[in-house]
Structure 1
Amino acid sequence: MMMKSVQRAFTVGLMLSVATLASAAVTLKDGHPSKYYVKNGDTLWDISGRFLEEPWQWPEIWQINEEISNPHLIYPGDEIRLSYVNGEPRLSVERGVQEQVMNNGVVKLSPKVREIANDEAIPAIPASAIAAYLKEGLVVTRQEIQEAPYLVGGRDRRVVFGEGDTVYARDTRTQWEGLEQGYGIYRTGEQYVDPETKEVLGYEARQIGLGRVSNHEGEMLSLRVTSSTEDIRIDDRIFSTEDRRVRAVLYPSAPDTKVEAKIIRFFDRINSVARNDVVVLNKGLRDGLKEGNVLDIFGAGEIVRDRQLGDNVQLPREKTGSLVIFRVFDKVSYGLIMESSRPIYMNDSAESPVGSY
């Protein structure tokens, strides 16, 4: 499901001071092109990967073209050019390219002037892959669960509800009295536990419906279920449906400090994940992570039998992929896997890119 609001929220933020970027050396990819014409369906990450070994380093060699309006956004039809300034690689954009077929059949490309809406800009990462996690996923504390209003029943003594039904929730703290807005109906489940410290990092709350308050008397909330993705049941919790868009400018960047995290949760996968899958990490805001941070993923080396000495040895770990953080909570984060050379498993490490700290 491609959400237009999410597409609009992703614009290509490239005007970032070099002084604030990680100091890792930029390496051009073998066989890189000298130019590339942006197409529908491209992402900033994919385009960067055509030129660079590490796509997140795009801002380090971006050269602003002051002659075009809003040079921080990239659109289908734009031409990305690779050049060198004082021996250093630079990428720049030529806004909009017009195709013209000549008499000899050769396609001639020339710049053209046009007005383009900002929401047509290509996203930094695939918006469709993370839309549901922005809209429907929460990580909450045990206290937040205990204090949230919860469903106690509905009409006709039913215990299962859906779109169009009226349900009743008890709000013992009357914290939303007088507010007129929609709320999310959530089911709490997965407990996130740090695999090393055993600290409880939070609880997964999954949105299964939306409701609008029709009445509020004392501790009792009356809600009209406006939509549902599965059966709504007694004891489901009510949380505010805040607007959870990725910030308007998503900068690919290394964390400000060294981060060493573990993958602690898959979604809709059993044994392993790969490119365009979403994972949960055991690090968050308190550990210095923020939206747009890039982490390298490492898989543990296989344990093999040493036939000469007769004991078991562990082979060195290997980099198996990379991910971008797109949503951050206090103690955990959601990341989208952007690259994977091998299957990625639970408890694999996710760390700051080598040379960035």
Structure 2
Amino acid sequence: MKRASQFIRRTVILLVFGLLAAGSTAFAEELLRADHPAHYVVKKGDTLWDISARFLRSPWRWPEIWYVNPQVANPHLIYPGDRLDLVYIDGKPRLMLNRGPVRLSPRVRSRPWDGAIPTIPIGDIAPFLTRPYVLDPGQADSAPYLVSFGNDHILGGTGVRAYVRSLAESGGKYHVVRPGDPYRDAETGEILGYEALYVGTVEALRAGDPATVFFNSSEREAVIGDRLLPVNEETAWTDFVPHHPKGEVRGSIISVMNGVAQIGQYNVVVIDRGAQDGLEAGHVLRIDQKGETIRDVVTPDSSDTVRLPDEEAGLLMVFRTFDHVSFGLVLNAIRPIHLRDRVSTP
């Protein structure tokens, strides 16, 4: 009887360990790419997303395998020359950081950029982090606007004085924007906001109606009717942590910045979901190419059509949200991406 009890106990223990091992193996297979490297040496120009994509099937899941080494100063910052080793701790895969050649004495700083690789290519989104590229419905109507450039100019730009209606205070700095096309919900057509074309920045020299402003910089010529919005002096957040939304998100790409015709990797797009829909900076969304509706040429009925299924086209990461729309950076494109293609929780 005693031997039978010991045999059953050993069998149960072995079964538990077997299940744990199988679970760890399944977790690793589900998380890691089949062709992942054993280690990787970080190079200048790398991003955390690029490196994660070498190891993981879903790059945004890198926090699940990141190992914080207490022996390494600032283990969350990765520099060119550092080596990442894939190891197994308690049966689970972990990426361990081995610091490369020391260049500076360790000190905690992540902003401004000190040489650590970014999560995503910050240069591709830098202009969109602080400038007011979206106007809420009605916001332009109540904003101060350019009314004249004096007798010497018909257009404004860097180094030019201008006059503005209804500017109550002097000394402040303002973005100059031009209201553009409306951003509409792809399904309902509801106006979610308006594109704000960035013109430049001015400083208020004298308050009044009209007030006097001076153009410190400009990216396009200013015209009568351009609007002024206060400059937000907050530092742009660049420490993005990619993660998927907690809830189900479904939306569409409704615009692409900088006028490109075909959307690809590292293009900035606008989607018709925003902070009020639960989105936040760092959320990763899957892009699906919207299926075409085609005519069935086999059936004798010439009006018979069939809608092809949506096909996965890539991934984007939200990096800035407004109330009803968000800006996202396309991080991966496996087929051409177009306006009105769908986005959803991966």
**TM-score bin, normalised by smaller chain:** 0.7 to 0.9
1:266 touches 1:278 (CA, 8 Å); kept in 2? Answer: yes
- 1:7-156 → structure 2 map (5 Å cutoff): 26-96=30-100, 98=101, 112=102, 114-115=104-105, 118=110, 119=113, 120-156=115-151
1:152 touches 1:170 (CA, 8 Å); kept in 2? Answer: yes
**C-alpha distance in 1, partners of 2:156/2:219?**
11
1:136 touches 1:206 (CA, 8 Å); kept in 2? Answer: no
**C-alpha distance in 1, partners of 2:97/2:284?**
24
The equivalent residue for 2:210 is: 220
Deviates more, 1:40-49 or 1:314-323: 314-323
2:122 touches 2:238 (CA, 8 Å); kept in 1? Answer: no
1:176-222 CA distance string (max 9 Å, x none): x25x23211111112111121221100111221111111113x3221
**C-alpha distance in 1, partners of 2:298/2:206?**
76
Among 246, 253, 256, the alignment partner of 1:266 is 256
**C-alpha distance in 2, partners of 1:168/1:44?**
47
**C-alpha distance in 2, partners of 1:136/1:225?**
16
- Whose strand proportion is higher, 1 or 2? 1
- Tell me by how many angstroms 1:245 deviates: 4.8
In structure 2, the gaps of 5 or more residues are 1-26
1:299-337 CA distance string (max 9 Å, x none): 123445556555543332211000000110000000000
1:22-54 CA distance string (max 9 Å, x none): x99952112110111111100010000000011
- Tell me by how many angstroms 1:272 deviates: 2.4
Matched, 1:194 2:189: no
- Tell me by how many angstroms 1:268 deviates: 3.1
Structure 1 residues 247 and 162: alpha-carbon distance in aligned structure 2, compared to 1, 3 A threshold: closer
1:134 touches 1:245 (CA, 8 Å); kept in 2? Answer: no
2:28 touches 2:92 (CA, 8 Å); kept in 1? Answer: no
Structure 1 residues 269 and 25: alpha-carbon distance in aligned structure 2, compared to 1, 3 A threshold: farther
1:65-120 CA distance string (max 9 Å, x none): 01111111111111111111222211111112x4xxxxxxxxxxxxx574266421
Greater relative contact order (CA < 8 Å, ≥ 6 in sequence): 1
Deviates more, 1:310-319 or 1:57-66: 310-319
Among 173, 176, 181, the alignment partner of 1:182 is 173
**C-alpha distance in 1, partners of 2:29/2:250?**
21
* CA RMSD of superposed structures (Å): 2.2
1:216-249 CA distance string (max 9 Å, x none): 13x3221111111121111000111214654253
In structure 1, the gaps of 5 or more residues are 1-22, 99-111
1:144-195 CA distance string (max 9 Å, x none): 11111101102216331121111010117x3xx25x2321111111211112
The equivalent residue for 1:297 is: 287
> What TM-score, normalized by structure 2, do the two folds share?
0.84
- Percent sequence identity is 39
The equivalent residue for 1:338 is: 331
**C-alpha distance in 1, partners of 2:211/2:68?**
54
Q: Provide the secondary structure at the position in 1 that maps to 2:258.
A: coil
